[in-house]
Amino acid sequence: MIKVSELTYSIAGTPILHDINVTLPAGRITALIGPNGAGKSTLLHLISQQIPFDRGRITMGGLDLAKTTAPARALKMAVVGQQLGVASRIRIRDLVGFGRWPYNHGRPTPKDQEKISEALSHFDLIGLQDRFLDEVSGGQRQRAFIAMASAQDTDWLLLDEPLNNLDLHHARCLMTQLREKVDREGKSVVIVLHDLNYAISWADHVVALDKGSIAFEGPLTEVATTDSLSALYRTPVVFGDLAGKPFVQYHR
Amino acid sequence: MPDKRLIWIAGALLAAMALFLIWGLQGKVWFILELRATKLAALVCVGLAIGTATVLFQTLSNNRILTPSIMGFDALFILLQTGLVFALGGFGYAQLSPLRSFALETIVMMGAAVFLFAAILHRTRQDVQLMILVGVVMGLMFRSITAFVQRLMDPSEFTMVQGAMFARFGAVDSGALVASVVLLAGIGLWLWRHHAILDVMALGRAQARGLGLAYDRLQFQMLCAIAALVSVSTALVGPLTFLGLLVASLAHSLMQSHRHQLLLPAAALIAALILVTGQIVFERILQLQSTLAVVIEFSGGLLFLILLARGRIR
Ligand SMILES: Nc1ncnc2c1ncn2[C@@H]1O[C@H](COP(=O)(O)OP(=O)(O)OP(=O)(O)O)[C@@H](O)[C@H]1O
Ligand SMILES: [Mg+2]
């Protein structure tokens, strides 16, 4: 599990996150939700040690992440950020291949090739593998980055709004893949989501952030209620039931 | 087995170099050959340095339009050179051997470049427009401080630094040349061993760190290398603002790859090829001394404007 304790972070004196105490359970899909500017991306950056923080401690399985080295971390967690872009002219297969860098340092083995092909096929990129990254659509590019993180084959996968540019088919495929990684391979996933229907249909655990603090957190079935969600987004969120599955209505 | 395209460029470069040496050779053959060889070595060194420095800088800054020269690296070198002459006095500076003064300038240059550009890259990497602006402003600032310091100098000191202000392929200092070759060889070796790491760095800081690179340490090393390369080219011929942009673009469109194993040698060889052939065409055939720099600057500057206008700044 990833344990965040007493984490405080501010930019130029403005507090962005204050006194965060939260545990992200291993072997689960954890949905990180909250309004724009709540601090979700910041929290992911802090966990992945992209930015240093003022105060607090983040541990993974008891190991203080701030004391780990970058190569060691790359074997433990893969991160897909909210803003993706690469200046170099790179083909999709090569990009996904970089997911194996922590293992092979640029000398791919047959096993790496296998993992790369697997990731490509899981994210429906086989037909695009020889295309240049700057010559595919936004959603295709996003899938390429997710495939790269997936090829990294780490215990933890942190995804910041991965559904952003995906059509409904690919969004659903992605969630199915994540579910399988968790259920079959025992991986742990933390995913920032804005669409509550995805959150309640796929996540096991929810962490809700609001204005830099934890609004609520816990197992999905216990904490995600009409009241808690409506208060979080300051907008009416109504739970319903659609063909036997839970459903939330918030868009109108 | 090296890439075919690289072999072609290298072959063309060798042919151009041979032509440069033997074209119209008569009279005191050995004396002329020695002169030409020195000049040729300088041209090739400058080409290799500019091509390499540009690709490295574009990898660091995550875009394909900015170059060390556009960001004011060579203006910084000239400022440092001027500052050194001013501080030591014309007499003191002249007493330094060329090798010593080159070494001193390069070391100061590395320190200054790392100090300045690490901070700038850190703050502006996300924003290419801002980077261009910062680069232009810094270039202007360096140049005006240089001009100011030169006002304070006496005329003999001034003539000393004036030669450094404009690109010239004429007189080459052999002490600086030897130092340049050594520096280039060292940097080449380092790049040879680290080219795969550069491919990862080109993905950007966040991605590269996520894949386990000690990005900031590598960035420091690369800025040192870039500063040294710019010192080489500026000390040998003076500032050439747009050659780097030109050759990096050519290398990208020729190689169509993200791999530095291909991009670095392509850019370096193309730059050397342009300089050597350009020199043959302008100096020997058209008999136009010192037009080469103008033509390179013009076509490179045009390319820069076109890239900007097309919005292809990523
Ligand atoms: N560079 C910065 N300087 C100052 N404030 C910043 C900076 N980056 C982010 N912030 C602020 O930090 C807060 C948290 O930002 P963060 O990106 O973590 O939000 P988020 O929850 O991911 O939002 P979104 O849903 O829009 O992605 C916001 O209030 C934002 O305005
Ligand atoms: Mg965000």
pLDDT digits over B238-256, tens only? 888 888 988 998 898 888 8
- A11 CB within 6 A, ligand 1: yes
Q: Which residue among A48, A95, A106 places its CB closest to the CB of B210?
A: A48
pTM: 0.88
Q: Is the Cβ–Cβ distance between A58 and A73 less than 8 Å?
A: no
Contacts of A68 in chain B (CB under 8 A): none
* CATH fold label, A2-76+155-249: Rossmann fold (3.40.50)
Kindly report, residue by residue over B8-31, the tens digit of the pLDDT.
999 999 999 999 888 877 888 888
For residue B106, the distance in angstroms to the closest alpha carbon of chain A comes to 29
In this predicted structure, what is the pLDDT of residue A157?
95
Asked if B200 lies within 8 A of A79 by C-beta distance, the reply is: no
**Of all atoms in ligand 1, which is nearest to the CA of residue A35?**
25
DSSP class of residue B49?
H
The residue among A31, A34, A65 whose CA lies nearest residue A47 is A65
- A16 CB within 6 A, ligand 1: yes
Pick among B123, B127, B211 to test the A interface (most A CBs inside 10 A): B211
- A42 CB within 6 A, ligand 1: yes
Residue B313 reports pLDDT greater than 60: no
Q: Is the Cβ–Cβ distance between B13 and B268 less than 8 Å?
A: no
CA distance A141 to B314: 15
Chain B residues 239-268 within an 8 A CB cutoff of chain A: 252, 256-258
Is the CATH number 1.10.3470.10 carried by domain B4-14+37-309? yes
Asked if A87 lies within 8 A of B314 by C-beta distance, the reply is: yes
Residue A193 reports pLDDT greater than 60: yes
Per domain, the residue ranges of chain B are 4-14+37-309
In this predicted structure, what is the pLDDT of residue B30?
86
In this predicted structure, what is the pLDDT of residue B126?
65
DSSP class of residue B177?
H
In this predicted structure, what is the pLDDT of residue A32?
95
> Is B203 within 8 Å of chain A by CB?
yes
Kindly report, residue by residue over A157-178, the tens digit of the pLDDT.
999 999 988 999 999 999 999 9
Contacts of B58 in chain A (CB under 8 A): 87
- What angle in degrees, to the nearest 10, is found between the helix axes of B174-201 and B98-124? 20
> Is B197 within 8 Å of chain A by CB?
yes
- A82 CB within 6 A, ligand 1: yes
CA distance B314 to A87: 6
Top-confidence residue, A90 or A88: A90
Q: Which residue among B62, B200, B258 places its CB closest to the CB of A101?
A: B200
Contacts of A102 in chain B (CB under 8 A): 211-212
- A40 CB within 6 A, ligand 1: yes
Highest mean pLDDT among B46-55, B98-107, B156-165: B46-55
> What's the number of CA atoms in the CB half-sphere (13 Å) around residue B147?
6
> Is B127 within 8 Å of chain A by CB?
no
The confidence band for B1, taking pLDDT boundaries of 50, 70 and 90, is low
In this predicted structure, what is the pLDDT of residue B176?
78
For residue B302, the distance in angstroms to the closest alpha carbon of chain A comes to 22
> Is B210 within 8 Å of chain A by CB?
yes
Measured CA distances, B14 to B19, B40, B51, B267, B276 (Å): 9, 11, 17, 16, 10
For residue B254, the distance in angstroms to the closest alpha carbon of chain A comes to 12
The residue among B194, B239, B184 whose CA lies nearest residue B52 is B184
> What's the number of CA atoms in the CB half-sphere (13 Å) around residue B290?
7
- Residue recorded with tokens 């742990």: A188
In this predicted structure, what is the pLDDT of residue B27?
80
The confidence band for B163, taking pLDDT boundaries of 50, 70 and 90, is low
Share the mean pLDDT of chain B. Answer: 84
Least confident of A98-102, A232-236, B94-98: B94-98
The confidence band for B139, taking pLDDT boundaries of 50, 70 and 90, is confident
Contacts of B248 in chain A (CB under 8 A): none
Among chain B residues, the shortest Cα distance to A146 is held by B207
DSSP class of residue B283?
I
CA distance B67 to B271: 14
